Structure formats: structure tokens, C-alpha cells
Amino acid sequence: MMKKENVVIKSVEQIALDTVEMVVKNPYISQKAIPGQFLHVSVEGHTLRRPISIADINRENKTITILFKMVGSGTAKLAALNPGMSFDVLGPSGNGFQTEGNESSTILLIGGGIGVPPLYYLGKELAKQNKEIISVLGYQTRANVFSEEMFRRLGKTFIVTNDGSYGEKGFVTDVIQKAGYFDYYYSCGPLPMLKAVTAKLADKPGMISLEERMGCGVGACMACVIPTDSEGGYKKICSDGPVFHTQEVSL
Amino acid sequence: MNNLAISLPGLELKNPIMPASGCFAFGREYSEFYDLSKLGAIIMKAATGTERFGNPTPRVAETASGMLNAIGLQNPGVEKIIEKEVPFLAQYDTSIIANVAGSTLEEYEKVAAAFNQTDQVQALELNISCPNVKEGGIQFGTDPFMAAKVTETVKKASKLPVYVKLSPNVTNITDMAKAVESAGADGLSMINTLTGMQIHLPSRKPLIANKTGGLSGPAIKPVAIRMIYEVKQHVSIPIIGMGGVSNAEDVLEFLLAGASAVAVGTANFNNPFVCPEIIDSLPETLNRYGFDSVKDAIGKGIM
């Protein structure tokens, strides 16, 4: 269950261009969060919270790792906070990736940009279930690349940059066929990427995680809706998602 | 004696605090955080005659001390709201105010009549001020003649008291208030959002898909205070005040300007507990500024 909690910063580090990794401590969220859920972060002086996905959990140390991109004044202010300081979050928020009951033996993780982080916590949990993990991670350019080593520890990993400055050149969809056989996929990234991925893998079962500008983050304000295939139907990304089965929503 | 209690047409409120329409859906989400019986009332999200999907996304953008939204009255339609949402809220010991919206006079009439068929709704808030839909809403809210007409129509279809929600996007708010009072409004609800726009530099396009959105949050509080202060001096019906309220001091400021009750909107998004926190701190705030009760403070800022 989502709660309003205070988290204490343990570390803050810039790990790529405009990209920050922050480790925070909170006993409740660290025990409850599952992969794909997010924290709805309050930044002092800002009207709206920022939804930031959970990149990792350490239940023993009671810590949560979040990775975010500095795209505006709110995320810049968050990045400027120091260890020992604390802030307020709603979390764990949303519905995460379902892994229980997934009989697939080989899993493909497809991440794009700031959509990569939640796939790490997911991959770690899947690896515990003895599944083979293959990752295809896309970034704009070399300077944006992060978390490569962590994914390599989970399994075979392909890095793609749009300009070819690092790894393969192109889009994640250009590299998927090189990944070899897999029976299920999980993907998180910008909408155009998710559209291309779900179209290319239309015959494979999978789950996707969506991002959208959010208001309340609890399902009340109807800011972050996505249409479903049924007539007039919709889902709320913050509370029904952010993770959906690929057939559940129409991108 | 409960010094927070206030009586308004159709409403015996144990305290003057209520979540504003559109910021609280139908209460389910916030009922996970606290007991909704704590609230003076709940203003439900707008209901239209039939289901509406609303506008494309992005639908929200943050601004300095506020936010823009263009949800577009997304709602499941009045019948489903009466069937599924009203009974849920009726379990709580709080008053239910239904926000009535539409594109035509007939639709407003239909929605109002439907809410009158239940015995679980205590008042209607007539939404003639939504800036985010192409038809209806604001076209009724910016012309005193049309505002009076829709108020009259809904009053005829309703035995429940009608609070007309005014738009700040007008030249003369007092003319609007007087027009709906003459047409039979039992109260006013003010203010709705101010139409605004934000342009996203990287894409050079309006950030909100609807291009324009309604500005809410602390940025609009002085506008709301000014409008309530003006209107209060020219009407005799009570005012539910709203616009950027985020703490008990803000509530007192609205009371001083002439509001008899206060709705909290955008602040719920940052702090889901803002309404109960305000209710808890209101007695002390009233006291600190020399008031014994909510009633005591209403209109005391007008000189």
C-alpha cells in the first residue's frame, strides 16, 4: 500500500550526462516495493510531485535507488540535495511488473534512456528465479550511457546509441533480432520507442511501463490516462499502471 | 459547541473544508489515506450527461506556484456516477455536492435532474466555468445572460440547492454573480481556474496538448480573494471560496474576504493529507487571529 513517507538521502551521484543516481533510506518502502513501481517525489517549492521509478532496492540496508534525468528546475533542485537531507515521497506507487507465474525461461529487457532504470531491479528479481536475461539498452549518445556493467552482470547486454557513438548504431528495435531467442519481454522507455517495440514484437507476450506527466499520482486527477482498445476505455498510468500488458493499452 | 460548523443552503457542515471538484475524483483514492468523514463536504468531479474521455495528453504542466490542467471533464457520465460513486461516498459522514456540467441547456438539466433522484446528494455545484472543453462550460460562464439562463434551467429541474461556480475569465465578476443570484442561485462557488498557456522550449509548442489549460494553485489565490471580496459586497447568497488554498491561514483569508466555506484543490496533489491537516489546525489559527468561530470570521476583512 502506498504511503506518504519521509526518505533520507544516503548518496547522490551523477552517473551520465544530466543523469543522477540517488540512494535513499526508508524502512517501509524498501520492504514493500516491487520492480516497476515508482516514488512520487515532492520537491520543495514545487506544486507538483515528480514520478521517479525505482531502479533498485536493498531490503537489508533498507535503501531504495532512484535514477532520474535533470530536465528542469525541479529535478535539478532534487539533484542538488546532499546526503543526510530528507524529502517526502508517496510510495511505493503504481502497479509494477508481474514476474510470479511467468514460466518463460529467457527474458528480453528493452530499455530506452531514463526508461532503463526500472528494468535493472526487474532483471535482478528475474535472475533470482533462474531466468536467462538478455538486455537491449538504447541511449541518445555515448555521454548518456549508464548502468551498462550492472546489466552485463545479469546477462548478455547490447548497448545502442542513436548516433552510433557507443555500441551499436540506431534504435533498440534495430538490435532486437541480434538478441537471439527469448519467450517474454519487458520494456520501458519513451512512447515512440514502446510503439516501435510492441509493433515489432507483436507476436511475443510482454509488459511495458509507460511514462506521462502526472498530477496527483494516486489516480484522482485523470491527468495521465491512456486509451485502451475497448470503446471509450482508458487506464490511469499512475494507479492502473505504469506497467501494463502490451494488449491492455493502445499506444 | 463546534466552532468550525457552518450552515449553508442544503448543507449542515461540521467544518468549512471540502476538496474541490476535479481534484479528488469521487474520493476513493484519498479514502486510502484518511477517513473521509473528517471532511465538511466533498465536491465530486464534474458529471456530464454521457461518458466523456476528455482531452489528449499531456494534460498537466507545472507553473511557478501553480499548475495548468486541461483534463476536459473526463467522467463516466451521470448515471454511472449515481450508480457507483455516490453510494461509495454516502458511507461517510460528510455532505456530498455534485458538480453538474454539460454542453447544452438540456444536458445541464438532465444531469441536475438525475442527481435530484438520489437522496444521497445534498447540493449541486453548477459548472459553467470549465475552460477546457470546446462546447458548454465556459460559454455559459462568461456571459451574464447565458449564465442566468442555465441557472434558471437547472433551478427549475432541481429541488436541491444550486451553487453556481463562477469563472474568473471575465471582465466583471460582480455582474456574473448578480446575474446568477437573480436567476435563483442559492450560493456561489468561486473561482474556477484562469486560462493560461505554457510553451515547451525544446519542441517550441504548447506543453499541454489542448494548448491552453486552467491555471490553479497558490499563484491564483490573490485573484480569488479579490473576486470574492468584490462579489460579497454585492450579493446576499453565500460563497464557497477556492483558488490556491493550501493551509489554515489561506482558509482564514478566504473567510475574511467573504467566503462561508472553502474548497481545497491543487494542494491535494502535493499533500494528500492537506484537508484533514487544515481542519486540525483551523481552530488554533482562528484563535490566533482573534476569532471564536468560522462564522465569526466571515466577511470581517471587508472594509
Rounded CA separation A111/A126 (Å): 16
> Can you give the pLDDT of all 251 residues of chain A as single tens digits?
999 999 999 999 999 999 999 999 999 999 999 999 999 999 999 999 999 999 999 999 999 999 999 999 999 999 999 999 999 999 999 999 988 888 889 999 999 999 999 999 999 999 999 999 999 999 999 999 999 999 999 999 999 999 999 999 999 999 999 999 999 999 999 999 999 999 999 999 999 999 999 999 999 999 999 988 776 689 999 999 999 999 888 88
Q: Are residues A177 and A200 in the same domain?
A: yes
pLDDT score, position A231: 66
Strand residue runs (E) in A140-181: 155-161, 168-169
Q: Are residues A48 and A89 in the same domain?
A: yes
ipTM of the modeled complex: 0.93
Answer whether B67 sits within 8 Å of A232, measured CB to CB: no
Q: Of the CATH numbers 1.10.10.10, 3.40.470.10, 3.20.20.70, 3.40.50.150, which one belongs to the domain with range B6-54+72-194+215-297?
A: 3.20.20.70
- B275 pLDDT higher than 60: yes
Per-residue model confidence as pLDDT tens digits over B104-163: 999 999 999 999 999 999 999 999 976 666 666 667 889 999 999 999 999 999 999 999
Per-residue model confidence as pLDDT tens digits over B20-59: 999 999 999 999 999 999 999 999 999 999 999 999 999 9
Q: Residue B59's closest chain A neighbor by CA?
A: A223
Which residue bears the cell 499520482? A217
Task: List, in order, residues 6 or more apart from B140 with CB less than 8 Å away.
Answer: B108, B128, B146, B147, B149, B150
**pLDDT band with cut points at 50, 70 and 90 for residue B1:** low
Domain membership of residue A151 as a residue range: 97-209
Amino acid sitting at position B26 = F
The answer as to whether A238 is a domain residue is yes
Q: Which residues of B touch A218 (CB under 8 A)?
A: 29-30, 32, 272
Residue in A48, A70, A75, A191 to test binding to B, most B beta-carbons within 10 Å: A48
Among the three residues A56, A75, A93, which one is the final residue of a domain in this structure? Answer: A93
Task: List, in order, residues 6 or more apart from A106 with CB less than 8 Å away.
Answer: A131, A132, A134, A181, A182, A183, A184
Q: Residue A219's closest chain B neighbor by CA?
A: B29
Q: Which residues of B touch A239 (CB under 8 A)?
A: 29
Overall domain count for chain A: 3
Domain ranges of chain B: 6-54+72-194+215-297
Q: Which residues of A touch B217 (CB under 8 A)?
A: 47
Answer whether A4 sits within 8 Å of B273, measured CB to CB: yes
* Catalytic site includes residue B130: yes
Q: Choose the closest CB to A47 out of B217, B272, B273.
A: B217
Residue in B26, B57, B277 to test binding to A, most A beta-carbons within 10 Å: B57
pLDDT score, position A101: 80
Active-site residue, from B17, B130, B215, B262 = B130
pLDDT score, position B137: 60
How close B52 gets to chain A, by Cα (Å)? 8
Contact B108, B125 (CB under 8 A): no
pLDDT score, position A136: 97
pLDDT score, position B139: 72
Q: Which residues of B touch A46 (CB under 8 A)?
A: 62, 270
Q: How many CB atoms lie within 10 A of CB B80?
A: 13
The answer as to whether A247 is a domain residue is no
